Amino acid sequence: MSSYPGTWRRPPQIVSDKRVRLALQLGVLVYLVLALGSVEVNWQRVSEGLERGQRFIMGFLQPDFSSRWKDISQGLTESLTMTLTSTVVGVLVSIPFGIGASRNIVPRQIYVFCRAVIAISRSLQELIVAIFLVAMFGFGPFAGFLTLSFATIGFIGKLLADEIEEIDEAQVEAIRSTGASWLQMLNYAIQPQIMPRLIGLSLYRLDINFRESAVIGIVGAGGIGATLNTAIDRYEYDSAGAILLIIIAIVMVAEYSSSYLRKFLQ
């Protein structure tokens, strides 16, 4: 009679070869040792900073909205207006790019060109674009507006193009067979199919643009980020805490309302 093992071990799920697993584990260990070794930490500075950290947490718990309220409200207005205008302009510009990047309705040359523009816009981070645009257009929310519009083109353009490539071809054929031109086909066959998705994506991008508008101010592109940067530079942690709380609150409201609206539209 064969004896059964008394215990059972779950077989590994992802890497089933034992040697590969061992090599992976060793590699990870070696990397961690090397990486942790290259991190130089000035512990004295860290311990000095802990007191500041404490002050920051106190500032977060007792935010000071009033003493810098003028700066905060100005930064906030800039951020909010920048968010809205850049989303509107970005979406308007990204619609032709999105249509141009759909392989099923345009010729090859246009497709390649539009996909290239989208790829460039997607691979450059907002902050880097902002640095260049601030250098070109000067400080202030206008550079931020351009940055966010540019970033919106890549985001909406790509998702819209993917959506158009997956539409129901039967409807396009039906409209075409009535003798419709290319523009009529776009208006009556494609636009009704993608409109709910486009509105949903625009709302989502509105939400992202607000978050980003809080960041690009650090390099001088206006908005609440600039106010936050100033507050931290002045070591006014209670004002910084107030700004962060406002950002968190707006992001939460934007996220919930945009997901609610998207559900409502679908």
Partner 1 sequence: MTQTLPREWAHRAPAQRAILWLGWFALVALFVWCWQIMSKDTIWAFVWDAPDQALDIGSRMMPPKWAYLPQLMKPLWDTLNIATLGTVGGVLIAIPVAFLAARNTTPSTTFLRPVALFIIVTSRSINSLIWALLLVAIIGPGLLAGIIAIALRSIGFVGKLLYEAIEETDPRQIEAITATGAGPAQVLTYGIVPQILPAFWSISVFRWDINIRESAILGLVGAGGLGLKMNASLAILAWDQVFVILLLILATVVLSEWISAQVRKAII
Binding site for partner 1 (CB under 8 A): 10, 13-14, 31, 35-36, 38-42, 45-46, 48-50, 52-53, 56, 77-78, 80-82, 84-85, 88, 123-125, 127-128, 131-132, 135-138, 140-142, 145, 211-212, 214-215, 218-219, 225, 228-229, 232, 235, 240, 244, 247-248, 251-252, 255
Instruction: Sort 38 into a burial class: Cβ within 10 Å, 0-12 / 13-18 / 19+.
Output: exposed
* Residue closer to partner 1, measured from CB, 45 or 108: 45
Smallest gap, in angstroms, from Cβ of residue 4 to partner 1? 16
Smallest gap, in angstroms, from Cβ of residue 237 to partner 1? 8
* Residue closer to partner 1, measured from CB, 104 or 192: 192
Smallest gap, in angstroms, from Cβ of residue 163 to partner 1? 20
Largest distance between two CA atoms of the chain: 86
| Segment (H or E) for 98 | helix 69-100
* Residue closer to partner 1, measured from CB, 110 or 199: 199
Smallest gap, in angstroms, from Cβ of residue 112 to partner 1? 18
Smallest gap, in angstroms, from Cβ of residue 50 to partner 1? 8
Nearest Cα neighbor of 95 from 144, 145, 163, 146 is 163
3-state secondary structure (DSSP) of residue 220: coil
3-state secondary structure (DSSP) of residue 235: coil
- C-alpha 151/C-alpha 127 separation (Å) is 10
**Site of tokens 């935010």:** 63
DSSP code per residue over 164-180:
HHTS-HHHHHHHHHTT-
Nearest Cα neighbor of 234 from 52, 42, 45 is 52
3-state secondary structure (DSSP) of residue 124: coil
Smallest gap, in angstroms, from Cβ of residue 78 to partner 1? 7
* Residue closer to partner 1, measured from CB, 125 or 193: 125
Decide: 172 and 99 in contact? Cβ < 8 Å: no
* Residue closer to partner 1, measured from CB, 21 or 104: 21
Nearest Cα neighbor of 144 from 220, 71, 244 is 220
* Residue closer to partner 1, measured from CB, 63 or 225: 225
* Residue closer to partner 1, measured from CB, 52 or 70: 52
Smallest gap, in angstroms, from Cβ of residue 109 to partner 1? 24
